Amino acid sequence: MTARTLLAASLTSAAIPLEQQVRAAQAAGADLVELRVDCIGDISAVTGLLEAPRILPLIVTVRCAAEGGAWTGSEAERVALIERLGLLCPGYIDVEYATWRRSANIRQKIGLVCNLAGAGAGTHEARTPGQHPKNELILSHHDLAGTPTAIASLLDELAASPAGIIKVAFTAHDAADACRVLSELRRRRGSARQVIALAMGEGGVATRILARKFGAFLTYTVLRRGEEAAAGQPTIADLKQIYGWERIGPATRVYGVIGWPVAHSQSPHVHNAALAADGIDGVYVPWAVRPDYEGFAAFMDYVAREPELGVAGLSVTLPHKEHALRWLDEREPAAAGVTPRARRCGAVNTLALESDGRWLGDNTDGLGALAALQTARRYMASRPADQRVAVLGAGGVARAIVAALCEEGCQVTVYNRTPQRAQALARELHCAWRPWAERVQYVGEVLINCTSLGMWPAVDETPVSDAALRAGTVVLDAVYRPAETRLLRAARSRGCAVVGGAAMFIGQAARQYELWHDRPAPVEVMRRALPADAG
């Protein structure tokens, strides 16, 4: 039995010599390499690598199209190729369970080159000189349609096979599927068979990062983005440098960001750097949760009733901030409740698991905006009550910022493309509102963009024309990717004091960190960890 979860680097092309790629994988920290022969295509290159002295243990995979592979030849040719490559002793052979069951002839051919249960499966015992070493057999099942409800029974069936290592890979519709896979993986820890269990796609990324926490035999990675053998595979560098792979263990607490989509979020960079700096045994991962309330509730209900997953705190981003508030309200008294600040905002961007097992909802967006504005000398020079602030947008971020500004005594006017939302927000928080078309005529010392206009990839958009920007105004753009939006570039050129969204992002993230960990956030560490294209 392996003592730790291994890192397997999948290779899908021979455009760069395979030996060079294997050495690069070894240097990056991979423990073994998967040769996706069906994708590589160049059999002579694969054979050449297998005939050379071994650099790392290799997994030979010739995946059929029915289970997500790129093999285009006949099934007889594929099985013959697996047998031929297996005779070169790569270390591991991955064969689909459906292929294994198909015929006794196939089982005999594969059995000739593989250890089977009861004959050293899962071990690497010493061989006598001249003894033909056999490969460890990985029997796998891939579901391209989704994640079935009967994960346990499928794994039970695989566990009854003669494979020393069993593998299931499902397609995650969202992070709730990932949680179900992780729960089953946790229950299999220490079983007689080594288990690989993962969910493919953006919704399943957490299964790849948390494989080490729950005792998987391995997790699949790639050397470079764009070379993925399956959707959702992280790079080795990301696993190590962003997620702190070596620090993850059974007791590691899990944090993360809930959104849809969520792959673009920079929060994992910031929070994982802070966790490492403070020596906290935690990891922060992305959770892609379906955009409707039902999707959010299904995910949170699962997390709440499965405390063994170790989820202790969550950031909430679009489109789930109002969903989080509704979920907390509907789960009372099981939920710890909602802070007055979040109640005023009408949205929750932070969920924290309390010591009694209940969930608390808070909102740190407004605090982040106030912290960001403190970096502008013109704002600091006056009392907040003297500040007239124009806020563009009426969504969750805008609500939080307006609530914080009104509490500070600022005179706030809301402009929004849907006038009914602007009017409702102004009525609830006791501020002014004006039609969207009048935003170019705003009067005030501070202008804050809370819309998505200018956010990557639509970087050429801007919420106001350049001509509407007046020298002396403080302009804060809540968008933090890119670091300098078109709005900020124009504002700087016209003599405005500009505040990037990165300052607000770090401010709200720091407040989240303090809520979860009950200690001051290492703000400078968080700021340095934010990627250059975001801050």
Going from the C-alpha of 139 to that of each of 9, 110, 201, 507, the distances in angstroms are: 18, 11, 21, 48
Encode 467-500 in three state secondary structure: HHCCCCCEEEECCCCCCCCHHHHHHHHCCCEEEC
Q: Which of 516, 530, 519, 499 is nearest to 368 (CA)?
A: 499
State yes or no: is 213 an active-site residue.
Answer: no
Instruction: List Cβ neighbours of 304 (8 Å cut-off, separation of 6 or more).
Output: 331, 334, 359
402 backbone dihedrals φ, ψ, rounded to 5°: -60, -45
Q: Which of 133, 20, 26 is nearest to 86 (CA)?
A: 133
The DSSP letter of residue 215 is T
Please state, in angstroms and rounded to a whole number, the distance separating the CA atoms of residues 389 and 412: 5
Contact 300, 176 (CB under 8 A): no
Please state, in angstroms and rounded to a whole number, the distance separating the CA atoms of residues 37 and 444: 64
Instruction: List Cβ neighbours of 196 (8 Å cut-off, separation of 6 or more).
Output: 138, 140, 165, 166, 167, 168, 169, 211, 216, 217, 218, 219
Distance of CA 281 to the CA centre of its chain: 18
Contact 381, 343 (CB under 8 A): no
6 forms beta bridges with 218
Contact 380, 372 (CB under 8 A): no
Strands annotated E in 53-190: 58-61, 91-96, 114-115, 135-143, 165-171
Instruction: List Cβ neighbours of 150 (8 Å cut-off, separation of 6 or more).
Output: none
Instruction: Single out the catalytic residue among 141, 142, 173, 517.
Output: 142
Instruction: Single out the catalytic residue among 38, 177, 365, 477.
Output: 365
Please state, in angstroms and rounded to a whole number, the distance separating the CA atoms of residues 121 and 192: 10
Please state, in angstroms and rounded to a whole number, the distance separating the CA atoms of residues 135 and 489: 59
Please state, in angstroms and rounded to a whole number, the distance separating the CA atoms of residues 310 and 210: 11
Query: Angle at CA 387, nearest 5°, toward 521 and 393?
Result: 70
The DSSP letter of residue 222 is B
State yes or no: is 477 an active-site residue.
Answer: no
Strands annotated E in 12-116: 32-36, 58-61, 91-96, 114-115
Instruction: Single out the catalytic residue among 321, 323, 362, 517.
Output: 321
State yes or no: is 142 an active-site residue.
Answer: yes
State yes or no: is 321 an active-site residue.
Answer: yes
Instruction: Single out the catalytic residue among 94, 134, 141, 167.
Output: 167
**H or E element that contains 447:** strand 446-449
- What residues are labeled active site? 142, 167, 321, 365
